Structure 1
């Protein structure tokens, strides 16, 4: 993975209210940490980091971070995490993980299917992406942005497992080798589709029934209306006196 240059600045406003003011000014709060250094609060220009990620295959980025007034001119770091706003998708915060050039690091890398599976093309099967990311370990310069997996030879019922993936030179794929990454499933028959639709309808009916029962229970559990002012409460029912023998 080729490193790209990025400028950063020591963060001045570190409180919660300061983060909003910082974003309004066109910068994003960030933090850099590593095994050899203490965590440091930073801020980066929002357009700079957005442009880097926009032109990258994934959010896995290796940056030469130049922090203003820092004792070291550049610090090699991975973009460890980018937090986005849940509604508008804007970047809220960036985590940088400082690494050394000779240090093997572990990251999650996206998996991309290439080619058209035989089972899909001729058998009408369905290509299923079981894992969208896999864990790899390598030196920073050898880290891949994406792992491409050729699915052309996959028949219906076949799958490519973690152990089947051929990683680039210098890259180690981690995880259980028997776990499926991409598979071709048989198409649903008309009977299976009808059963799935019926099951979905039954689930909806069950939810409606539960809702109706809850509403009925709520109505039954309501207290009787209290007597109006000036009215006597209904007298308790008297038991008839027992006859003497």
Structure 2
């Protein structure tokens, strides 16, 4: 992990109003604390802090702080928190956590995959389940990132936490059975046949009108016979009169 150097100055102005005055001078109020060391309020030059960030070029880095007026050697620290204004984004305050160079510390580092999985080449999809891991090591051995080679990963295969080989002197913490990276086949959406369109109401009515009604022919014949019967009786009466 990269270490950047930064100069700090003892802070004499305290409280909210004091912090505003510190910022008005182009500096950032800060505090440094750690195990077995006294908490000190300090301030750093904003431009120097921005330069240190650019030099680090990573999410995780260590800071070698030299505090003006202190005869002790520079202290090694992590940035525990950087507070920004929610609207303007202005840097408001920095928290530094001092560490002992000879004691192991635990931090969270990002996970990156390296290479193209063979399963992806055959149509699979690479899924990264965990994007950050907790590691423990001496400050000098702490990695900026954990890289995982996925070149030999085929479809259906998974790399678990316990499969990762950490850098020398580094311990990866957590459940060893947790999946970190896997290659799966993309899900295929099932297509269902569209239901047959129902006839429009007008069409149904037309079909009903055309559909023969059971017994309709029989009723028609009976009606025809009834109409013919009175005519026959009328013909007989005319014959008698003649």
Same fold judged by TM-score > 0.5?
A: yes
Structure-2 residue corresponding to 1:242:
none
Unpaired runs of 5+ residues, structure 2, are 192-242
Cα pair distance change 1:150/1:45, threshold 3 Å: same
CA contact (8 A) 1:60 1:80 kept: no
Deviation, 1:90, is 4.2
Residue 164 of structure 1 corresponds to which residue in structure 2?
Answer: 163
Deviation at 1:89, TM superposition (A): 4.2
Partner SS for 1:148: strand
SS of the residue corresponding to residue 170 of structure 1 reads coil
Alpha-carbon distance in structure 2 between the residues aligned to 1:103 and 1:21: 37
Q: Find the aligned partners of 1:23 and 1:186 in 2 and give their Cα distance.
A: 54
User: What is the distance in 1 between the residues matched to 2:108 and 2:173?
Assistant: 10
1:118 and 1:90 map into 2 onto residues whose CA distance is 46
Q: CA deviation at 1:140?
A: 0.9
Change (3 A) 1:79 1:156: same
Conservation of the 8 A alpha-carbon contact between 1:57 and 1:146: no
1:84 Cα shift?
3.6
Match of 2:34 in 1: 34
Aligned residues: 192
2:187 paired with 1:188:
yes
Q: Is the 8 A contact 2:5 2:52 kept in 1?
A: no
The structural deviation recorded for 1:18 is: 2.9
Change (3 A) 1:30 1:152: same
- Report what 2:147 is aligned to: 148
Larger radius of gyration: 2
Q: Report the equivalent of 2:18.
A: 18
Deviation, structure 1 residue 87: 4.4
1:136 aligns with 2:135: yes
Pairwise CA RMSD of aligned residues?
2.3
Q: What TM-score, normalized to structure 2? A: 0.71
Other structure's SS at 1:157 match: coil
Q: How far apart, CA to CA, are the structure 2 residues paired with 1:154 and 1:20?
A: 54
* Counterpart contact for 2:2–2:56, Cα < 8 Å: no
Give, in whole Å, the separation in 1 of the partners of 2:124 and 2:90. Answer: 39
Residue by residue over 1:63-106, the C-alpha shift from the partner in whole angstroms, topping out at 9 and shown as x without a partner, is: 22101112413112122233344445443322211112211111
In the alignment, is the contact (CA less than 8 A) between 2:4 and 2:56 conserved in 1? no
Q: How far is the alpha carbon of 1:58 from its aligned partner?
A: 2.6
Q: Work out the CA distance in 1 between the residues paired with 2:52 and 2:96.
A: 14
Q: Distance in 2 between matches of 1:160 and 1:64?
A: 36
Aligned-partner Cα distance in 2 for 1:159–1:56:
33
Sort the Cα spacing of 1:25 and 1:128 in 2 relative to 1 into closer, same or farther, 3 A. Answer: farther
In 2, Cα distance between equivalents of 1:77 and 1:136:
17
Indicate whether 1:91 and 2:65 are aligned: no
CA displacement 1:163-220 (0-9 Å, x = unmatched): 11111111111111111222233313234xx9xxxxxxxxxxxxxxxxxxxxxxxxxx
Q: TM-score, normalised by structure 1?
A: 0.70
Match of 2:217 in 1: none
